[in-house]
Amino acid sequence: MAITRPLVIGFLAALLSACAADSGYHWANYSEQAYRYKNNPTEQNRASYQTALTAVVNHAALKNLRVPPGVYAELAFLALEEKNRAQAAWYLRQEQQLYPESAALTQAWLNRIEAGAAQ
């Protein structure tokens, strides 16, 4: 029975995860920090949000996972807020490369950045 118990737990876990399967992204506490920042845009909350986004990217690189949709774009938005256009453009190109569905939006913003019209 010593072997059976872990197997039972393993089967139940597999069962539950199969029913609740998702796209396999790792988000850490991205949503929580995003809500905190948008709801109360202090410098501290902004820094925590930026840290959360960077942690998602770093974790994806470490585990060879795809960076979740929108994470590079949100980093680009924060870079634009800091007037760091070159960094923002780099993040937007990463988003576009990973998710071609973002092309219309990311290209519109890349054009704005190149024209010096973004923020």
Partner 1 sequence: MKILRWMMVFAVVSISGCTAMAEKDWKAWSAMQREKPVALLLVVDSEAGVPQHASEFFFTTLPELMANSGYYALPPSFSYQLLRDSGYKQVASVLNAEPGAIQKLTGADAVLYVRVKEWQASTSIFATGSVRVAASYQLISTKTGTLMWHADSYHEMDTSVDEGSWLEDMVLTELETSSVDISQVAQQLNESVLYLLPPGKYHPFYQNWQQP
Query: Should residue 2 be labelled a site residue for partner 1 when binding is judged by CB under 8 A?
Result: no
Question: How many residues bind to partner 1 according to rule CB under 8 A?
Answer: 38
Query: Should residue 20 be labelled a site residue for partner 1 when binding is judged by CB under 8 A?
Result: yes
- CB 16, min distance to partner 1, A: 9
**Do 66 and 59 meet the contact criterion of CB atoms below 8 Å apart?**
no
Q: How many CB atoms lie within 10 A of CB 115?
A: 8
Determine the 3-state secondary structure of 112 from DSSP: helix
Residue type, 16: L
Q: Which residues within the stretch 60-99 sit at the binding site for partner 1 (CB under 8 A)?
A: 68-70, 73-74, 76-77, 95, 99
* CA dihedral over 112, 115, 117, 119, signed as positive or negative: positive
Binding residues vs partner 1 (CB under 8 A): 4, 7-8, 11, 14-15, 18-25, 27, 30-31, 34-35, 38-39, 68-70, 73-74, 76-77, 95, 99, 101-106, 108-109
